[in-house]
Structure 1
């Protein structure tokens, strides 16, 4: 897919196809959120985009999915402070990615925070600790205080009266 789509494109990590370009229209019917970084210069934006473009052709990192599952749902339960050390951090292969890893890696290259852990320094000042880019999940960008969240379904007009509610169980909602 070397050609450019006139209505815009996204770069995504697809399980079967790896990191590819897709038309923005692919997500027209999805409930999406756009997480926009705040305060980037044109140069920084260019570097983030270039980083994503450099990832085109990488394969999907299925091992990273398993590592994230172990981190998020540890068996047996392990104190949170030890969970990250248990991870293999993905395949370790720089030619593999998942979407959140791809995005986190691009932003970390320009020193932009996503969802750092905050710890007190020796003089009780806040010190930010950056997570390894393979430990991010899509939700982290949504929760980040450094990204503005846009919900296109709201921005482009939402009318709750057009929703098709199931009648018997929700009859009292219509009142």
Structure 2
């Protein structure tokens, strides 16, 4: 049964990893700008265009469906001489290093851990590199497949936990879980749970202090790096001087703008 389950899971992963139909709504990132901007231990968020991406975006109510970690030149090179500078957990190929060129045509965002020391950045990278070859959590693939319906009836408070229904096997990973574990290994916060307790200060009987609690790594999703107050959000398209006057608007849109201007006056 385990062999059959693995075979079915692999087929399902291949199906979910196929490109979905329909238009890709956001502009692609400039990879040359990405190369200039990326630093070790940066998290790269990806708006995927695959079937599984739709399920993840629905459950997380976010643009971002995938995450990878920038490891610099430590990921090796491929037969074409391209440096494998990113590490991800892929549904079909497991945890792997890959070149930046594979993200050509995708909408991307960089999330940079603020104040992460060079030593801890090295440890975060070593953590994910040590996991190369681990398998994707195929039980999680079965869970996600249930949410490919147009409007799956999942209440908002339950959606995050729907992504945590995997096997909990430490040798199986999903993209955001792997990266969350890497940062938690150096006690760098992403979205910790914060509680308040009495400060026990003799000169302040009513004072409270914040206590940070580690959120279980299985509950992290790609958007958490985007909304975390501890990660700086970098948009590659804005790395150079942006001239909005240089945009090539359609003439039909220009006439709409002129009509609106006339109405306002």
- TM-score when scaled to structure 2? 0.53
Compute the displacement of 1:166 (Å): 6.4
Q: 1:18 to 1:83 in 2, by over 3 A?
A: closer
Tell me, in whole angstroms, the C-alpha distance in 1 between the residues paired with 2:170 and 2:210.
32
Compute the displacement of 1:15 (Å): 1.2
Pairing 1:1-175 to 2, within 5 Å after superposition: 3=77, 9-64=85-140, 66=143, 77=155, 80=157, 89-123=165-199, 124-156=208-240, 158-160=242-244, 171-173=255-257
Note the aligned Cα RMSD (angstroms). 3.4
Higher CA-based Rg? 2
Deviates more, 1:7-16 or 1:142-151: 7-16
Tell me, in whole angstroms, the C-alpha distance in 1 between the residues paired with 2:257 and 2:104.
28
- TM-score when scaled to structure 1? 0.77
- Structure 1 unaligned runs (5+)? none
Higher normalized contact order (CA 8 Å, seq sep 6+, divided by chain length): 1
Superposition misfits of 4+ residues, deviation over 4 angstroms: 4-8, 73-78, 82-89, 157-171
Tell me, in whole angstroms, the C-alpha distance in 1 between the residues paired with 2:104 and 2:159.
37
* Alignment partner, residue 3 of structure 2: none
Compute the displacement of 1:110 (Å): 0.6
- Structure 2 unaligned runs (5+)? 1-74, 200-207
Compute the displacement of 1:102 (Å): 0.8
What count of residue pairs does the alignment treat as equivalent? 170
